[in-house]
Amino acid sequence: MVVLSQLALNQFINTCKPVNTKLFFPTIPTIDLTNPDAKSLIVKACKEFGFFKVINHGVPLQMISQLEDETSKFFSLPQFIKEAAGIPKPFGYGNKNIGPNGDVGWLEYLLLSASPEFVSQICHSISPEDPDVFRYAIMNYIAKMKKLAVRVLEMMAEGLNVKGEDKNVLSKLIKKDESDSYFRLNHYPPKPDAFEALNGTNLVGFGEHTDPQIISVLRSNNTAGFQISLKNGNWVSVPPDDNSFFILVGDSLQVMTNGRFKSVKHRVFADNNRSRISMIFFAGPPLHEKIAPLPCIMQHGEESFYEEFTWYEYKKSAYKSRLSDNRLLRFVKRDRTR
C-alpha cells in the first residue's frame, strides 16, 4: 500500500480537474496495415486526430507479453534497486517527478535511450548478476518498434503522394544510427486509499502534453486511463487494447508537414483499482537534423508556417518548458497563425 502525507497528497490534488472519464473515443481510427487503403487512411487520421490505432502490425504478441512481464517485475523491485538506474537527466528511473520544471504525476518510470549500448548499461546497473533477460526483452522490443515506426512513416509519405526516392524522407531519420530515439516504461499505480474520499476528482498520472518527436508508438496493458484531446478541445478516453499499437503524431512531424498533421495532446489518469503499464517508443531524428516543412510535400507558392530549427535546439527548448506548454509556439513565424 502507498502511504502519502497530507502535504504530498495536496500536491496531486492541485493538479487534478474533474472530467468526464466515461466519454470514450466514438470512432477511433483503426488502421489495418495490410489494407491496400492504409496509406490514405493514415493520412486522414493524422489530419483529423493526430492519432490512430494499428492492427495486423506483425509484432509477435509473445514478445509484447514478455516485456510487460519483465517491466512489472522491475517496478516490483525494492526502491533502492530501481534507483540504481540513476536519476533521470533525462535518462534513468523517475518517481512522481516528471522533468526538472515542477511537473508531477502518479507514476514511476524508466526512460532510456534506444541505443543497445545504453540499454545494456542500465540493465547491468539494475541487475549486475543477471542483466540479460530484461535487456534482451527491451532490445528485441525496441528493434520491432523501430521497424514498425519506419513502416508507418513510409506509408505516411506515400499517403502524402511522396514519390520515388523521397518515399523514405521521414523513415530515413529513424533508420540512421545517430537517430535520437527514446524508449519509456511507465507504471501508474492505482489511486491511493487517501484519494478515495475526493469524489469526482481524478488523479493525474501524466499531465496533458504533446510529444516533441516525429511519432510515438504506444502500447499499454488493459487498464484504462489514457485520453486525447480532440480539435474542439474535448477530452475523450481511449479504450485500452493490449494487442494493438497507438501511433501519436509529434511536434516535429507537425512542422515537417507544415501543419497538415497536428501533434495530439494527451494525458493519463490513474485507475481506481488497477495498475497501468505502458511502453512507448519515441521515434526521433538525429540531434543536428534540421526540422522544417518537407519540400516534397509543399505546394507551389506555399510558405512555411515555422522557423527552421534543429532537433537539438527543439529538445533543449522543450526540456525548459512545462508539460502543458505549447512548445511549438516559439518557432511559429510571427506573421503566421495556424
Catalytic residues: 276
Q: How many beta carbons lie within 10 A of that of residue 182, not counting itself?
A: 20
Distance CA 244, CA 252 (A): 24
What residues are paired with 217 via a beta bridge? 247, 281
Distance CA 186, CA 71 (A): 9
Distance CA 154, CA 149 (A): 9
Distance CA 199, CA 292 (A): 46
Phi, psi of 227 (to 5 degrees): -135, 150
Residues 6+ apart with CB under 8 A from 311: 180, 252, 284, 285, 286, 287, 288, 289, 291
Q: CA torsion sign, 252 to 255 to 261 to 264? A: positive
Distance CA 15, CA 78 (A): 28
CB-count exposure of residue 80 (10 Å: 0-12, 13-18, 19+): exposed
